[in-house]
Chain A
Amino acid sequence: MVSFELSDEQKMVQETVNSFAADQMEPIMRECDEQNAIPAEVISKGWELGLLGGCIPEEYEGFGEEISAVTGVIALEELGWGDLSMALHLMAPSVLAISVLDQGTEEQKKQILPAFCGEEFKAASCALVEPYYNFCASALRTTAVNDGDEYVLNGKKCLVPLAEESENMLVFAATAPGMGFAGVDAFIVPVSAKGVKVGEREKNMGIKALATYPVTFKDCRVPAAARLGGEAGCDFLRLLSRSRLALAALAVGMSRRALEHSRDYATQRIAFGEPIGSRQAIAFMIAEMAIEVDATRLLAWEAAWRCDRNIDFKKEAALAKNYAADMAMMVCDRGVQIMGGHGYVRDNPVELWFRNARGFAAFEGFVMV
């Protein structure tokens, strides 16, 4: 039966993550952006929320809560509300961990998961995006060729978060080029493996506090057992869809924050004798921002709910993610517009959100729910 009410547990998750975001993330967001760095203690405090460990079953040393994608998007919205760079840093290990949990073999689970159940943040990374203007997850140029009981990886990746500090990364590569999503597999690759080269830290327009790297693979050999899901391989589109849900939720959170900021400003800034929000040109922008933020949240919730229900959710996740990317850009652009010149200077958070927002169209496979 249709309901829009969060469960008690979800409300608790929402509140807990929101107060972390408000107390720990938001106040240092600007500084982190300027410094291109995130203090380790914030990450370790964030880790204490147990968002990742919480959904890993006890047999792999997690706390074994029931995994719910809906709860995941609720939590991620709050992290996105706090700060996108920090959220992506904190959740970077989820791509490896949750992919393994969802589709790994028993050995892979045993080998990988316990590391993410400890008290200290454990970095991990994923390499999906490639540095081409027409990059598409269904047409990867990075290839993995089977050679006996090994796979040989070749290709270029970019936007690989935390590559330097990670032990392992999940690398997506085409095992059957031309076969679209069905021809893509994932490999658990140690960052130190031969043939892996992590380049210099990237300089991006936004999410500056998140360390991302280009990574190249040149005849990098990994054992066949490193292939996610073993011989059967993985359902790549399903993983991608879980990531799209997460990105949509982060976009909703960040946009919601930008909306709140614009709303407050519009009631306080006086022009021509009254608050600018008293003019429809501004007020209507704000109304549309509010409508679209809510609409996108509902799209993400519905797709996540389908995921929890084991109903096909790939199409819904794609629609939600694309919609969210457009929405975030629209909302954050208006955030700047509403503040005029004051929105353009770096004293102000809206320009940071604006820069971050453009990323959603390019982000893929960054986080998972």
Chain B
Amino acid sequence: MIDFELSPRIKATRNMIHMFAESAVRPLARQYDEQEHEKPWDLLNMVQKVMGGGIAGAFGTEKKEDKGEGEGEPKEKKPKETNLAGAVTVEEIFWGDAGIALSFPGPGLGGAAVQASGTPEQKEKFLARFTGDKPVWGAMAITEPEAGSDTANIKTTAVLDGDEWVLNGEKIFVTSGKSALEDSEGFVVVWATVDKSAGRAGIKPFIVEHGTPGMQITKIEDKMGIRCSDTVSISFMDCRIPKENILGSPEVVDKTKTEGFKKVMATFDATRPLVAAMAIGVGQAALDFLREYLTEEGVELRYGINPHRMTSLERDIMQMEADLKAARLLTWRALWMLDNGLRNDLQASMAKAKAGLAVTRITQKAVEIMGPLGYSRELLLEKWMRDSKINDIFEGTGQIQLLVTARRVLGFTREQLK
């Protein structure tokens, strides 16, 4: 039955997170934008204590409880809405502040990869750490200087030498890389090829623990936005890790070809809508601000009159509102499908493509509407514009999402549509 009402459980969570975002996150937003590369440790420690990786769960681990059910026999049980709940949570924290929210401790994308394709032993060993007292981070390193969107082109290698894999290569733009490897006892999941000639089929994810010799953080990026979140380059020089730290099978089998690659790609079905939810949180913040400001200024928005009679301000705002709502509904749909065991790769890409673009436009428009106030660092609007831009870039650019969507709509393979 079509229904847009969040369950009482999600609503309660949402209200709680919203209060938290408003009282604990938002007030720090400006400070940690200006003090780049510093972290709000009090807040992060508190988050870890109170939530025990719970919020972070929204980024990956909470799926745990769900996992068995998908494959096994479907039993009557409590409503399946873990991923949807995750999106609602993410939206609220990002409404508070995107940079700080991104720097929250938790398994992150690395954890999501372990969750998606790790063995039970690996999950036990690598995921337990996130629920302790101290903040711990996980990270994922795919991107290289020469391979961003074109992930199949990565050059980092992994060679088996006795009981160990030896990694060599350079990764860039690793979110929370410093947090995971230097500030906590975390790990990074590194994509490397075991057989360059095999293309995609040769690419495997490896778990590298903090403090592993041969792994070094070589750069911390200064960024336009989401400055509280660290983004680092990592180099691997004869970096040795245990043989069992590979995720999925080490085989490069011809027929089953890109199974392993696909499985990790499947993590994106869950994470892309969450990135969309991040964007939506920022967009909502901007719209909420505008609406409050305009109300104070005595501007009344006239819904329902014909568009050509609206002021250009009304028209802009209504377009922004509809765009944001459209993005949110696409996002909810993608996650609802995931929660219900339906294939959602198309819908996940649609949601991210829409949200990434819509919210960058919304925040840019919001700055424009506020004129000099919008441009000033007194307000957070200009920050939201800088912060939201990343949502159309990481986890697959807007163009890559369109590519995925178009392939699915047209029924084309990646060879037919490059």
Contacts and interface: CB of A to CB of B under 8 A. Distances in A.
B246 to A, nearest CB: 34
A330 to B, nearest CB: 13
Interface in A286-317: 286-288, 290-292, 294-296, 298-299, 301-302, 305-306, 309, 314-317
A319 B399 CA distance: 27
B405 A267 contact: no
Interface residues of B, number: 52
A323 B323 CA distance: 8
A266 B321 CA distance: 33
Interface in B1-29: 1-7, 10
Contacts of B304: 137-138, 181, 237, 240-241, 314-315, 317-318
Given A2-B4, A277-B410, A287-B402, A138 B322 contact: no
Interface string A247-261: 000000000000000
Interface stretch (A3-11, A155-163, A226-234): A3-11
Contacts of B350: 290-291, 294
A4 B405 contact: no
B91 interface: no
Nearest to A318: B304
Interface residues of A, number: 57
A35 interface: no
A299 B329 CA distance: 7
B48 to A, nearest CB: 29
Contact of A136 (B309, B327, B417): B309
B84 interface: yes
A319 B309 CA distance: 15
Nearest to A290: B409
Given A291-B330, A302-B4, A278 B322 contact: no
Which of A10, A286, A287 neighbours the largest number of chain B CB atoms within 10 Å of its CB?
A287
Contacts of A277: 406, 410, 412, 416-417
Contacts of A136: 305-306, 309
Contacts of B318: 318-319, 322
Interface in B164-205: none
Interface of B is mostly: helix
B305 A286 contact: no
B353 A319 contact: no
B81 A2 contact: yes
A283 B417 contact: yes
Given A4-B2, A284-B399, A323 B326 contact: yes
Interface string A344-369: 00000000000000000100100000
A221 interface: no
Contacts of A275: 412, 416
A237 to B, nearest CB: 6
B44 to A, nearest CB: 31
Interface of A is mostly: helix
Nearest to B308: A134
Interface stretch (B129-137, B209-217, B332-340): B332-340
B74 interface: no
B2 A3 contact: yes
A70 B2 contact: yes
A135 B329 CA distance: 32
A331 to B, nearest CB: 13
B38 to A, nearest CB: 38
A40 interface: no
A314 B301 CA distance: 13
A295 B354 contact: yes
Contacts of A271: none
A263 interface: yes
Contacts of B308: 133-134
Contacts of B152: none
Interface string B285-315: 0000000000000000011111111000000
A75 B294 CA distance: 39
Contacts of A291: 330, 350, 353-354, 405
Interface of B: 1-7, 10, 79, 81, 84, 302-309, 318-319, 321-323, 325-327, 329-330, 332-333, 336-337, 340, 347, 350, 353-354, 399, 401-403, 405-407, 409-412, 416-418
Interface of A: 1-7, 10, 70, 133-139, 181, 237, 240-241, 263, 266-267, 274-275, 277-278, 280, 283-284, 286-288, 290-292, 294-296, 298-299, 301-302, 305-306, 309, 314-320, 322-323, 361, 364
9 contacts: A2-B3, A4-B333, A267-B412, A275-B416, A278-B416, A280-B402, A290-B350, A305-B2, A323-B319
